[in-house]
Structure 1
Amino acid sequence: MTRPTVLSLIAAAVLTSAPASAETLQTSAGPVEVDQVVSGLNEPWGFGFLPGGGLLITERGGRLLHVADGTSTPVRGVPEVETGGQGGLLDVMIPRDFAGSREVFLSFSIPQGRGAGTGLAVGRLSTDGTALEGTRILFQSEPGSRGGRHFGSRIVEGVDGKIYLTIGDRGDDDSAQDLGNENGTVVRLNRDGTVPADNPFVGQAGAQSEIWSYGHRNAQGAALDLDGNLWVVEHGARGGDEVNRVEPGANYGWPVIAYGRQYSGLRIGEGTEKPGMEQPAHYWDPSMAPSGMMIYSGALWPEWRGDMFIGSLKFGYLSRLDGSSFTEEEIEGDATARTRDVREGPNGAIWFLSVGNGALYRMTPEARG
């Protein structure tokens, strides 16, 4: 297996110089420089920043990489993953208290007999960054799904300290309306994997108590806005990719309502609206295949404060959605091929993973001479 190349990284996660692969793109906020930071990645899926510098990057095949001081090191102690179809090692989340806890949260497709589910694990990163210690499974979705798609798997730490995990419908559309399993949901957990007492379906007969919201198709992006509200972006079928603000107990309609059609061209469900089911804040038709989501602080680009940044796997661009009007700007270049994840860095730079290039990039305002 090839070893990723780290082009330039220092403790503050700032490039010391622009490498030869730097690219200038034009945006509504002026020209930006996009620099390649890590190359040679194999199906990268998620990444997160470590306090004081360094990164963790997941590869779908099962590798967790620790990138620091110009080197990339595979991390031992990752749980066993099922890599069939869209499965594998998926998201990584580094909590706010990492400096003290050293905990790292991972989502992945967990083997379940002849099938697989969406799992959540936690371990402590060793001081040398080479191993997850004491790794344990905190949660896994109800067994029974055998399809190799729609695992969801974005992890967010809420302002309440709870862990929010997205789970796709696993290719079984109708299961997203069945509270007896977690397919097509956002689940909410305590840090130790137990169920918060104030979850909306606690005590409801036949419902899984971990569920926070349901009726989602396959949310592969999730983020907090600047007020701490949770948002997700999810894949539709042929049309109907959605951005949704997540509320406890809410039903987002899949597959009863949807803005799009089945891949066969047939109509989905009952139309686009139904009482008791939420409307998206924004949708795409045709689908752009969204993955990864970040809501920007405005640190380097004040005019983008509160805007959403979402990767497009289908068309290969970075989508900027205005936080109030949801008008879209497509930021596109060679670097944005099949953008899988996007995050804001410690100094306000915008970082993103390209599956198409097997690389991690950093976007900053163009340097003025």
Structure 2
Amino acid sequence: MKYSKCGFLLWLSFLSPMSISACHAQDKTVDEQHQQAAIAPLSQPYQIKKITEFNEPWALAVMPDQRLLITEKAGKLFVFNPQTQQKIVVEGVPQVAYGGQGGLGDVVLHPDFKQNHIIYFSYAEQGKGGYGAVVVRAVLDEQLSNQPRLMNLQPIWRQVPKVSGQGHYAHRLAFDSAGKLWISSGERQKFQPAQDMQSNLGKILRLNDDGSPAIGNPFIAQGPIAAQIWSLGHRNPLGMAFDAQGQLWVAEMGPRGGDELNRIYKAANYGYSIVSNGDHYSGRDIPDHTTRPEFQAPEISWTPVISPSSLMFYQGSKFPKWTNKALISGLSSQAIIIVDTQTVPVQEVQRLAMKQRIRGLVEAEDGSIWGIEDGKHAALFQLTAPKP
């Protein structure tokens, strides 16, 4: 077994976060101690300003005029104006399957949003066979400034098949510089679908903006579902972002231990549930990545876990020590984890103790960072640089 009793408490910290600090002090693996000894830690100063509260916020996106789109898991989409502090509910959001980890999920802007006003959002829906994520494309109509609404809704992608349970949807969204839509799809706590090419569960998908499979996908000759797939063998990939060079990275929750940051390669198999640096929650062993070199290993993994919930790469100048580094929001870790992906090996270089479960992060035009806490009465906050 790769995970000790105290590591198991970290998983339980989903219910009782008080156990986190004790576990971090007592239950560090030998690999983690070596990793920390090799790190040249950063000391980038920052300030936290809490702005307002939302109820179970899940994702946020910055609009061209610097207003924010914010989703709440129970099914509300808001436009929030930081200048006026005004929250406006967007009409026309479909009914979501709210429960467990399911509900309204991610939201992103079309690359040509300024011209076409198109947004994309994900949510959990119920249907034949159980539950699954769906991605919808819609026009954000703001002709009435006090009552924005969604129009021309088009479902463009669904998890296949729908299954029982309401965990591990993942359903993060991102556009690349070529205008391709990327979707992270969790394996829905069913293990085997992550290796099944006739299912898009446990995969990273690459699509055109209308939801069709993109030309150049590696498995396009293996049928309509496989044609969507870029990489496979993923568990619960809740963070997805491109670095400054256009390389895709994914932060993914491991089982009992072994949270991962993965560099995503075309056609690569990341091994779940055949290999993992964690174990099953039952305590049953999963072979480590080192035992099966044919599977792509993570660039860095964490035991004790960080419970990654989102991923971004900072491109601004307000926090110069973070420029081009990955920022991962953490749930059970109650932290923001800064990772240098340009070092060999990839290393964690700073950890911000937030004292709250953090659900999402996004960079604003001025180089500040917006974030949302997790849960009820969760803060929308802003990270800013201290004044000289």
What range describes the TM-score normalised by the shorter chain of this pair?
A: 0.7 to 0.9
Match of 1:318 among 320, 336, 339: 336
Which deviates more from structure 2 when the two are superposed, residues 89-98 or residues 353-362?
A: 353-362
Report the 3-state secondary structure (helix = DSSP H, G, I; strand = E; otherwise coil) of the residue aligned with 1:143.
Answer: coil
Check conservation: 1:233, 1:290, Cα contact below 8 A: yes
Which deviates more from structure 2 when the two are superposed, residues 55-64 or residues 205-214?
A: 205-214
Quote the residue 2:351 is aligned against: 330
Structure 1, unmatched stretches of 5+, are 1-26
Report the 3-state secondary structure (helix = DSSP H, G, I; strand = E; otherwise coil) of the residue aligned with 1:176.
Answer: helix
Report the 3-state secondary structure (helix = DSSP H, G, I; strand = E; otherwise coil) of the residue aligned with 2:321.
Answer: helix
Give, in whole Å, the separation in 2 of the partners of 1:155 and 1:66.
19
Give, in whole Å, the separation in 2 of the partners of 1:58 and 1:272.
39
Quote the residue 1:64 is aligned against: 77
Change (3 A) 1:239 1:270: closer
Quote the residue 1:97 is aligned against: 112
1:298-313 to 2 correspondences below 5 Å: 298-313=316-331
Quote the residue 1:352 is aligned against: 371
Report the 3-state secondary structure (helix = DSSP H, G, I; strand = E; otherwise coil) of the residue aligned with 1:154.
Answer: strand
Give, in whole Å, the separation in 2 of the partners of 1:324 and 1:228.
13
Specify the code of the residue in structure 2 equivalent to 1:78. Answer: V
RMSD over aligned CA atoms reads 1.7
Which deviates more from structure 2 when the two are superposed, residues 160-169 or residues 196-205?
A: 196-205
Quote the residue 1:107 is aligned against: 122
Quote the residue 1:38 is aligned against: 52
Matched, 1:203 2:221: yes
Give, in whole Å, the separation in 1 of the partners of 2:240 and 2:251.
6
Percent identity over the alignment is: 33
Quote the residue 1:194 is aligned against: 212
Quote the residue 1:250 is aligned against: 268
Give, in whole Å, the separation in 1 of the partners of 2:303 and 2:73.
28
Deviation of 1:333 after TM superposition, in Å, equals: 3.2
Deviation of 1:206 after TM superposition, in Å, equals: 8.3
Quote the residue 1:231 is aligned against: 249
Quote the residue 1:179 is aligned against: 197
Give, in whole Å, the separation in 1 of the partners of 2:179 and 2:121.
16
Give, in whole Å, the separation in 2 of the partners of 1:298 and 1:67.
22
Quote the residue 2:66 is aligned against: 53
Check conservation: 2:337, 2:348, Cα contact below 8 A: no
Specify the code of the residue in structure 1 equivalent to 2:305. Answer: S
Check conservation: 2:218, 2:267, Cα contact below 8 A: yes
**Scaled by the length of structure 1, what TM-score is found?**
0.88
Specify the code of the residue in structure 2 equivalent to 1:90. Answer: G
Quote the residue 1:22 is aligned against: none
Specify the code of the residue in structure 1 equivalent to 2:65. Answer: G
Check conservation: 2:271, 2:295, Cα contact below 8 A: yes
Larger RCO: 1 or 2 (CA < 8 Å, sep 6+):
2
Quote the residue 1:76 is aligned against: 91
Give, in whole Å, the separation in 1 of the partners of 2:352 and 2:265.
30
Report the 3-state secondary structure (helix = DSSP H, G, I; strand = E; otherwise coil) of the residue aligned with 1:203.
Answer: helix
Give, in whole Å, the separation in 2 of the partners of 1:363 and 1:248.
34
Check conservation: 1:258, 1:269, Cα contact below 8 A: yes
Deviation of 1:162 after TM superposition, in Å, equals: 0.5
Check conservation: 2:44, 2:319, Cα contact below 8 A: no
Give, in whole Å, the separation in 2 of the partners of 1:212 and 1:28.
34
Quote the residue 1:362 is aligned against: 382
**Relative to total residues, which structure has the larger helix share, 1 or 2?**
2
Cα displacement string for residues 27-66 of structure 1 (whole angstroms, at most 9, x for unaligned residues): 9444321111221x11110000111121100011000011
Cα displacement string for residues 114-165 of structure 1 (whole angstroms, at most 9, x for unaligned residues): 5111111011111236101111101111133112100011100011210000
Check conservation: 2:330, 2:359, Cα contact below 8 A: yes
Change (3 A) 1:51 1:286: same
Structure 2, unmatched stretches of 5+, are 1-40
Specify the code of the residue in structure 2 equivalent to 1:201. Answer: F
Deviation of 1:306 after TM superposition, in Å, equals: 1.5
Check conservation: 1:273, 1:279, Cα contact below 8 A: no
Specify the code of the residue in structure 1 equivalent to 2:226. Answer: Q
Check conservation: 1:241, 1:283, Cα contact below 8 A: yes
Give, in whole Å, the separation in 2 of the partners of 1:76 and 1:207.
32
Quote the residue 1:7 is aligned against: none
Give, in whole Å, the separation in 2 of the partners of 1:341 and 1:185.
21
